[in-house]
Amino acid sequence: MTSLAEQFQLQQQYRHFINGLWQDGGDGHIDVVNPAREEVIARVPAGGAAEIDAAVRAARAQFAGGAWSRLSGPERGALILKLADLVERDAAIIARLDALCIGRPMHEPAMLDLPNALATLRHNAGWADKIEGRTIPNPGYFGRPTVTYTRREAIGVIGAIVPWNTPFMITCWKLAPALATGCTIVIKPAEETPLSALHLAALVAEAGFPPGVVNVVTGRGAVAGAALCVHPGVDKISFTGSPVVGAEIMRAAGPLFKRVALELGGKSPQVVFADADLERAIQGCAMGLFFNQGQVCAAGTRLLVQRPIYEQFVAGLRQAADNVKVGDPLEEGVSMGAVAKRSQYDSIARYIQAGCDEGATLVTGGAVEGGKGWFIRPTLFANARNDMRIAREEIFGPVGTIIAFDTDEEALALANDSKYGLGATIWTRDITRAHTMAAAIEAGAVGINGWAPMDARVPWGGVKSSGLGRELGYSGIEACTEEKVITVVL
């Protein structure tokens, strides 16, 4: 049987992209594994402090006085647009690389991640010549009039640490505003999914960015990622990943006063009222729960359902879950692939056991045992309570916990009784209830009768343990700049 590496013409051994050159280096290598077949598809170097140091120095040199620092906004914008055109040209290749590393069906990144990444690059290219300051009227200085104005200045070198669930899209969320504002960047992709970032690096070179503006160092989080967080040449860490690592990054970066942006996990509620369009709510909740094998930070894994429609909702969602065909994403008709790694599979299986042990009713699903590949069937628990582990902890798999409520007040209390606050959906036909709930729910993004878009123009981020700061839209531009105040005493 042909290997996946041969079938998809992958390189045997990839390299870091540092200062515009492909370089080896580090402590051995990391195997990249396809989770549906448990097959090694490529190897990347396990970079460490030395490779991070070389990449940061290259990025610093371009930021502080290099050719990049002398480009105007329109010139930066034009380069980003050129990069976007190359990403569009290679979209199918990039989608395939992500799908192979994550174990998901190829049409998903092609339909969602790549269009989103492209839109993010082009949206930010448009900002590159529109980064403006303000003039601020003020009462003067010792009787003399003053003019006060501000400048938005690029923060500097950004260390971008990316997770494995939607790798190319999240890489572009960090890269595009960095380039638009004139920052430079060192990207540390996740161990499981480094290939699309390395392909992006090749496109950066082809687009003609000065060497060192964009660097990609592959390696383990605790080694290469940790080295990036404490490097004195890095001005900001932009991290997407787990809350545990997010806390470690704050501890590491804090004493150095680095800016930190954290996009972390969630346990997002989907609140379904009895007056909702039930069919639409069930379809929407299923999508919010099972998309990308449930490995989505904003996955709507706590389903809060009003009692009069509870049984009907559970039956409908079960039907939607049972309609999902789980298997090797390269096979015809498969709509859900494997979860990304063995440790993830084991952890999800333990949560499913915990749900059963705590007394929730397993309606459908469970881990697929035996054979190759780390597969979990869409799983639902009914008759659950919000104090159970399956309702409190982020499972990061296709597992939904369905909890009944009676009143609006109870729904709101349950929705907010979580350490997380990333996303939420509300399903109702009552406009007053919808807006009242949307204002009161503690979350970064709320969707009413549908999912809040993850869109290039719309800010994204969480509250509470779901993170700090915002990406995308103009908020993403602000996050890559500092506001300097200049006052002229006339």
Catalytic residues: 263, 297
226 binds ligand NAD (CB under 6 A): yes
* Least spacing, CB of residue 167 vs ligand NAD, in Å: 9
The CA distance from 443 to 446, in Å, is: 7
The CA distance from 384 to 314, in Å, is: 12
Q: What is the DSSP letter of 210?
A: P
Name which position in 26, 47, 177, 241 contacts ligand NAD (CB under 6 A): 241
Name which position in 122, 188, 258, 267 contacts ligand NAD (CB under 6 A): 188
The CA distance from 238 to 209, in Å, is: 21
The token duo for 78 is 């034009």
* Least spacing, CB of residue 241 vs ligand NAD, in Å: 3
* Least spacing, CB of residue 263 vs ligand NAD, in Å: 3
Q: Which of 445, 99, 434 is nearest to 266 (CA)?
A: 445
Phi (first) and psi of residue 151, to 5 degrees? -125, 140
DSSP letter string, 442-463: -SSEEEESSPPP--TTS-B--E
347 binds ligand NAD (CB under 6 A): no
Contact range with ligand NAD by CB under 6 A, out of 31-39, 201-209, 263-271, 426-434: 263-271
293 binds ligand NAD (CB under 6 A): no
* Least spacing, CB of residue 256 vs ligand NAD, in Å: 14
Query: Length of the chain in residues, anyone?
Result: 490
Q: Which of 101, 2, 109, 96 is nearest to 42 (CA)?
A: 101
225 binds ligand NAD (CB under 6 A): yes
Name which position in 165, 238, 292, 379 contacts ligand NAD (CB under 6 A): 165
* Least spacing, CB of residue 444 vs ligand NAD, in Å: 8
The token duo for 478 is 């602000």
197 binds ligand NAD (CB under 6 A): no
Query: In this structure, how many other beta carbons lie within 10 angstroms of the beta carbon of residue 384?
Result: 22
Phi (first) and psi of residue 116, to 5 degrees? -65, -45
Residue type, position 267, single letter? K
Looking at the DSSP bridge assignments, the partners of residue 421 are 463
Q: Identify the three-state secondary structure at position 100.
A: helix
Residue closer to ligand NAD, measured from CB, 103 or 221: 221
Contact range with ligand NAD by CB under 6 A, out of 143-151, 239-247, 430-438, 481-489: 239-247
Residue closer to ligand NAD, measured from CB, 200 or 314: 200
Contact range with ligand NAD by CB under 6 A, out of 27-35, 43-51, 159-167, 196-204: 159-167
DSSP letter string, 349-404: HHHHHHHHHTT-EEEEEEE--SSSS--EEEEEEES--TTSHHHHS---SSEEEEEE
Residue closer to ligand NAD, measured from CB, 62 or 165: 165
191 binds ligand NAD (CB under 6 A): yes
30 binds ligand NAD (CB under 6 A): no
Contact range with ligand NAD by CB under 6 A, out of 24-32, 204-212, 224-232, 429-437: 224-232
Contact range with ligand NAD by CB under 6 A, out of 218-226, 304-312, 331-339, 360-368: 218-226
Q: How many helices (H) and strands (E) does the chain have?
A: 17, 22
Please, which of residues 33-62 interact with ligand NAD by CB under 6 A?
none
Contact range with ligand NAD by CB under 6 A, out of 78-86, 160-168, 353-361, 402-410: 160-168
User: Count residues contacting ligand NAD (CB under 6 A)?
Assistant: 29
The CA distance from 150 to 486, in Å, is: 6
436 binds ligand NAD (CB under 6 A): no
The token duo for 441 is 């729910």
Phi (first) and psi of residue 437, to 5 degrees? -65, -45
187 binds ligand NAD (CB under 6 A): no
The token duo for 305 is 């359902």
163 binds ligand NAD (CB under 6 A): yes
Please, which of residues 265-284 interact with ligand NAD by CB under 6 A?
265-266
Q: Which residues bind ligand NAD (CB under 6 A)?
A: 161-165, 188, 190-191, 221-222, 225-226, 229, 240-242, 245, 248-249, 263-266, 297, 394, 396, 422, 462, 467
